[in-house]
């Protein structure tokens, strides 16, 4: 250890061991079989030899300090991914790290809640080495290190990398060209190689827009033409001209509906809404988000474009790209007033810029609401206060309007003050999971108050109310707790895929409702809604299909390339029978079918990515659609409210106008203790 080579081998060995321990204890990489287990074992070594070997090119103390600095940086990278993976079941990407400051700040709040003391174990070897050096148990070797030895180690590291990649690609063909799942790259190649590949992807994506041209749209339009389905004539245009409410149920999963704790319903109001005879409810509806979480859900819901495999499309591309989004379509085709409501800062997920690109005429964010210390929790205004204070803006919107209201209280870390908690927590023993039902219950109460208000002022009977869950509330990393919630001893990968279901409920007075069992996801919401409203959408670029169409493709693509269909569920390299959940040994005919489904999913995801990365919609404007002029919108409080007042007086179709200018806010009843 008193030679530079000895110290180098020691620091590399310790780093190798702790990385492998992290693989086995903190990540769910799904290594199966001898080849994958072997690759998982050795994959920290090649990169460690390379990066620590850099220090060998320097002399004396500097070489030792460089190795310690490299160890610190590498340990921090492991630490950051351990904490991030715990809640988001994914690895950090440059797309997330270069997001807006508000995204980073709010992400920081979440991560601070889930950081454990033992996570700092990754720094133990570094501390030990520093102590050994300072106490001279290990002495610094001042002798020069032969350059050819350093070069030999660098060459060896590259040789091991190529050998490792060869084995990995033999076991997983097209590892870096076909997969969308970061777990595969880390499992086969390692955390450092994942970072390098992610950096390459990020650079490649930034260059794609510059090289894109109009001809790139041909393959997209051809695919959409071949996969477009006609509407269900029983539903097409049945809700024409009605207002539309999009109620964004934050982190709300399907299992919460009809779920009880200590004999009490978690969401009694949403349960009734779900089972209402005039509500179309979908019980095989899945979230399809990736790292962008809520922003991915919004992208799919209002554009029928997938979120990206890394980062957030709204954050990275929302400002510069051209879109054909729901607000613009409804404004142009149906004369709708369009508005979004959100109790947090407008820049979160770059909404203040993206919403202009989507054609939102109004965006009521935190500056429009009274702010007091006890009014907010976690990511913004508490739902009861937010929805109640939104009424004064809703009543001014000229009808018909399209209004999206984003709730926030049921967001991780599921915090709520004692005055607002009146529901028992679950008893799984998982501190992240157990309060989830309490904030979900609070959201249900807020929803009940909002629906009551809509009924009182006459909006309920003249509106389509679409309520949906944007993404999971409990990540797959809480398997023991999930098993308890589902009443199982253990959960399989199939169970976790089914756990990704979120509710979709579409209600309208007179609508023929019921529980619909079709398989679909967030990508399918926009074409479904437009068909219900009778708004022509045969020329717009939408990758989803009407959920009510009789001949629709029911293959639900997940962002990592997995999929669910009524027959087969594919998770990684394993195929399950969707009806029974059992692992299948595929016949040649079944394998052919599964391969066809996989090809459909891969094509759909890659074409959607091509549209966003290349900003291809700038080259294609459907007949009758006008590109959104972002400069015509401002979300600053005073000019926006002046514009709304002018529109309300001109149109005279708002709730306020129909109530002879008398405000209806007094009709909104809430039991929020903060307002008493």
**What are the residue numbers of the active site?**
294
Exposure of 566 by Cβ count < 10 A (0-12 exposed, 13-18 middle, 19+ buried)?
middle
| Closest-CA residue to 419 (of 442, 386, 449, 389) | 442
Decide if 563 contacts 306 (C-beta within 8 A): no
Token pair recorded at residue 461: 């009977």
Measured CA distances, 673 to 153, 172, 439, 669 (Å): 66, 56, 15, 12
Smallest Cα–Cα separation from 164: which of 21, 275, 40?
40
Angle made by CA atoms 347, 351, 356, in degrees to the nearest 5: 125
| Cα→Cα distances 542→65, 115, 286, 605, Å | 54, 40, 18, 12
**Cα 82 to the chain's mean position, in Å?**
18
Structure tokens at 283: 């019980």
Secondary structure (H, E, C), 462-511: HEEEEEEECCCCCCCCCHHHHHHHHCCCCCCHHHHHHCCECCEEEECCCC
Q: What is the distance, to the nearest Å, from the Cα of residue 56 to the centroid of all Cα atoms in its chain?
A: 42
E-only strand ranges, 252-399: 260-261, 264-265, 279-286, 337-342, 362-364, 376-377, 380-381
Alpha-carbon gap, residue 464 to 454, rounded angstroms: 11
Query: Do residues 37 and 31 lie in contact, with contact meaning Cβ atoms separated by under 8 Å?
Result: yes
């Amino acid at each position: 250890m008193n030679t530079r080579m000895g110290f180098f081998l020691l620091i590399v060995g310790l780093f190798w061991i702790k990385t492998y321990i992290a693989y086995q204890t903190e990540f769910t990489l799904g290594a199966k079989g001898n080849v994958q287990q072997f690759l998982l074992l050795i994959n920290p070594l090649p990169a460690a030899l390379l990066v620590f070997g850099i220090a060998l090119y320097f002399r004396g103390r500097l070489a030792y300090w460089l190795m310690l600095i490299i160890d610190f940086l590498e340990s921090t990278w492991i630490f950051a991914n351990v904490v991030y993976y715990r809640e988001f079941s994914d690895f950090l990407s440059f797309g997330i790290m270069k997001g807006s400051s508000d995204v980073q700040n709010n992400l920081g709040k979440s991560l601070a809640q889930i950081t454990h003391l033992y996570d700092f174990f990754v720094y133990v070897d570094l501390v030990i080495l520093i102590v050994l050096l300072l106490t001279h148990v290990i002495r610094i070797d001042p002798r020069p290190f032969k350059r050819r030895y350093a070069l030999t180690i660098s060459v060896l590291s590259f040789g091991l990398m190529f050998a490792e990649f060869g084995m990995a690609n033999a076991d997983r063909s097209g590892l870096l060209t076909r997969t969308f799942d970061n777990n595969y790259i880390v499992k086969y190649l390692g955390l450092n190689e994942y970072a390098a590949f992610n950096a390459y992807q990020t650079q490649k994506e930034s260059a794609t827009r510059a090289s894109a041209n109009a001809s790139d749209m041909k393959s997209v339009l051809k695919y959409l033409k071949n996969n477009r389905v006609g509407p269900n004539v029983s539903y097409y245009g049945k809700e024409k001209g009605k207002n539309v409410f999009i109620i964004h149920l934050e982190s709300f999963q399907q299992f919460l509906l009809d779920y009880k704790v200590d004999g009490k319903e978690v969401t009694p109001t949403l349960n009734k809404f779900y089972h209402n005879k005039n509500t179309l409810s979908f019980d095989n509806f899945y979230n399809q988000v990736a790292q962008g979480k809520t922003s991915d859900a919004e992208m799919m819901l209002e554009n029928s474009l997938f979120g990206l495999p890394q980062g957030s499309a709204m954050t990275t591309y929302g400002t510069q790209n051209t879109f054909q989004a729901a607000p613009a379509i409804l404004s142009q085709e149906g004369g709708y007033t369009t508005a979004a409501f959100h109790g947090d800062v407008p820049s979160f997920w770059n909404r203040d810029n993206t919403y202009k690109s989507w054609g939102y005429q109004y965006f009521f964010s935190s500056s429009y609401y009274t702010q007091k210390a006890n009014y907010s929790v976690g990511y913004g205004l508490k739902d009861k206060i937010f929805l109640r204070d939104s009424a004064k803006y809703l009543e001014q919107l000229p009808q018909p309007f399209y209004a999206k209201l984003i709730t926030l209280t049921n967001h991780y870390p599921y915090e709520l003050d004692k005055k607002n908690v009146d529901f028992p927590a679950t008893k799984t023993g998982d501190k992240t999971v157990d309060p989830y039902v309490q904030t979900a219950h609070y959201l249900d109460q807020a929803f009940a108050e909002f629906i009551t208000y809509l009924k009182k002022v006459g909006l309920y009977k003249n509106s389509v109310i679409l309520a949906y869950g944007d993404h999971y509330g409990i990540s797959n990393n809480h398997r023991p707790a999930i098993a308890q919630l589902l009443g199982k001893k253990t959960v399989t990968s199939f169970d976790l895929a089914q756990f990704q279901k979120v509710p979709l409920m579409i209600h309208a007075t007179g609508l023929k409702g019921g529980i619909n069992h079709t398989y679909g996801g967030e990508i399918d919401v926009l074409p479904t809604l437009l068909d219900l409203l009778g708004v022509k959408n045969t020329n717009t670029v939408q990758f989803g299909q009407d959920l009510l169409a009789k001949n629709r493709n029911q293959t639900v693509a997940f962002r990592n390339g997995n999929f669910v269909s009524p027959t087969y569920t594919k998770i990684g390299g394993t195929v399950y029978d969707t009806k029974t959940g059992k692992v299948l040994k595929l016949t040649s005919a079944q394998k052919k079918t599964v391969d066809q489904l996989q090809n459909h999913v891969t094509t759909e995801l890659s074409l959607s990515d091509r549209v966003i990365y290349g900003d291809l919609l700038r080259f294609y404007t459907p007949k009758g659609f006008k590109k959104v002029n972002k400069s015509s919108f401002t979300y600053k409080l005073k000019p926006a409210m002046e514009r709304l007042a002018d529109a309300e007086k001109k149109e005279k179709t708002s709730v306020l106008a129909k109530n002879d200018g008398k405000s209806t806010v007094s009709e909104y009843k809430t039991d929020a203790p903060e307002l008493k």
